[in-house]
């Protein structure tokens, strides 16, 4: 913001087509430079996305374009898009520019950081070190989150992605006393308002930064709000030395915003109508989420799966960058299994006996084997009944059904709506209970007594 070129006239508006503004420049600005016009005294920020000629650029407006007209002067901010950063950002609800959305005064900015930046040096990167316990049984057991890693929650509409990501946010802040950054990409205002109040009531807002780009805003805002959240996470990691939890809801809307911008810029669509730059845009976001010697960034990202099709190009582009993949299944939700995690399709690159330890790996594999065998036999049971199975298979089915119900869990964040108090179960207790199920210690326990409980010790009492 201190450039000598800052706040000088750089050109005039040639055309305004929705959020697309073409500008004739006296000197062509670099890509991603932030320009602005001031119709009616209100600043409208324009980000340069494409060069159309020697002195002709195409920009995307990050504010409403009402009032812009041909011939209006365009000013140069002297830098790319930047946001204010400082320790006082914690506890605040902000927009893509770092301006407050919580009706309070702007926080004191100690510095400004650009949104578009390269990843940190490879020599300073730090590998994933350990499992990050969440207290959520099915996740800790079968698809553990990794401290300093990236986790994706994949699912269609209405299967519980936002509830799970909010519960994880609540759990990590309570269990690990870290700080978190929540980036809401294309959020509905109702969801954002409820989440903000939930975080305040839970008492975790003082250690949280919330950044929102709402569904009705420009595609440029929805395309950049994820980078705003990531920039705050990098600041908390590098300057304050914090272990940061970065939550993004929803990465698919980031892809959609990029697709809108691509069409507005006049690019030819590629596979299934997505932008030809899909892979590079996802990589620009994902590769910056990393841990360094100063601190770690652990990322959890909700990913909408269009039409429940896991082969969608956007889903595959995101999946390639993740360490852990949690798949939420509509079939599980229809059975009343919450969280609706599909235990056979969810996986983690860290499911390795050397990383998890021999006991955790062995128990997780045994649970998967029981659940996989039960799924194989479901059609036979539906047609002929469980009595038609061999004794060994009946025993496996009984234990698998109890394990399936045991891996359900009431959440803290929905307890006001369900009337059931949320529970958090340590990983060691989960392993003890699963070993007991596999040995047959709970064969006489009614299946209903395993449903929506914490540990089996709680079920017995």
Q: Tell me which residue of 133, 346, 374, 82 sits closest to 235, measured CA to CA.
A: 82
Q: List the catalytic residue out of 17, 43, 70, 188.
A: 188
Q: Is there a catalytic annotation at residue 17? A: no
Integer angstrom CA distances of residue 423 from 20, 137, 231: 49, 10, 33
CA distance 352 to 458: 30
Question: Which one is catalytic: 150, 161, 222, 399?
Answer: 161
- Pairing, β 73-80 against β 8-17: antiparallel
Q: Is 137 among the residues known to form the active site?
A: no
Q: In this structure, are residues 165 and 153 in contact, taking their beta carbons and an 8 Å threshold?
A: yes
Q: Which of 47, 133, 167, 187 is catalytic?
A: 187
Our answer to whether residue 187 is catalytic in this structure is: yes
Cβ atoms of 370 and 400 within 8 Å: the answer is yes
Strand partners, 128: none
Catalytic residue positions? 161, 187-188
């Amino acid at each position: 913001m201190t450039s000598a070129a800052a706040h000088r006239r750089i050109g005039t508006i040639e055309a305004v087509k929705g959020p697309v503004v073409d500008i004739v420049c006296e000197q062509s600005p670099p890509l991603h430079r932030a320009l602005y016009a001031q119709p009616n005294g209100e600043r409208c920020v324009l980000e340069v996305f494409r060069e159309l000629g020697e002195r002709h650029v195409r920009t995307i407006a990050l504010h409403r374009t009402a009032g812009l007209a041909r011939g209006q002067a365009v000013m140069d901010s002297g830098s790319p898009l930047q946001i204010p950063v400082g320790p006082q950002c914690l506890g605040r609800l902000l927009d893509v520019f770092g301006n407050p959305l919580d009706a309070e005064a702007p926080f004191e900015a100690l510095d400004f950081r650009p949104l578009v930046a390269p990843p940190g040096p490879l020599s300073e990167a730090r590998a994933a070190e350990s499992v990050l316990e969440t207290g959520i049984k099915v996740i800790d057991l079968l698809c553990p989150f990794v401290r300093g890693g990236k986790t994706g929650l994949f699912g269609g509409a209405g299967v519980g992605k936002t509830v799970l990501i909010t519960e994880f946010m609540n759990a990590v802040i309570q269990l690990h006393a870290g700080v978190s950054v929540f980036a809401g990409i294309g959020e509905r205002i109702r969801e954002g308002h409820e989440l903000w109040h939930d975080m305040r009531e839970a008492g975790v807002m003082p250690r949280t930064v919330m950044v929102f780009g709402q569904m009705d805003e420009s595609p440029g805002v929805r395309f950049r709000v994820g980078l705003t959240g990531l920039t705050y996470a990098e600041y908390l990691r590098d300057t304050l030395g914090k272990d940061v939890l970065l939550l993004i809801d929803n990465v698919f809307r980031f892809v959609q915003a990029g697709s809108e911008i691509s069409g507005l810029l006049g690019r030819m669509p590629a596979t299934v109508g997505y932008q030809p730059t899909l892979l590079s845009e996802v990589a620009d976001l994902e590769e910056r989420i990393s841990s360094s010697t100063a601190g770690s960034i652990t990322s959890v990202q909700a990913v909408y799966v269009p039409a429940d099709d896991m082969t969608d190009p956007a889903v595959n582009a995101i999946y390639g960058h993740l360490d852990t993949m949690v798949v939420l299944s509509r079939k599980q939700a229809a059975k009343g299994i919450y969280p609706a995690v599909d235990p056979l399709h969810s996986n983690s690159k860290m499911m390795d006996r050397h990383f998890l330890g021999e006991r955790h790996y062995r128990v997780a594999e045994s649970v998967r084997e029981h659940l996989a065998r039960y799924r194989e036999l479901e059609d036979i049971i539906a047609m002929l009944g469980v009595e038609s199975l061999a004794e060994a298979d009946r025993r496996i089915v009984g234990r698998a059904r109890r394990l399936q119900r045991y891996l359900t869990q009431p959440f803290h964040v929905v307890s006001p709506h369900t009337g059931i108090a949320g529970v958090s179960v340590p990983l060691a207790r989960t392993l003890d209970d699963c070993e007991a199920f596999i040995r047959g210690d709970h064969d006489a326990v009614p299946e209903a007594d395993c449903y929506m409980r914490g540990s089996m010790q709680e079920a017995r009492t």
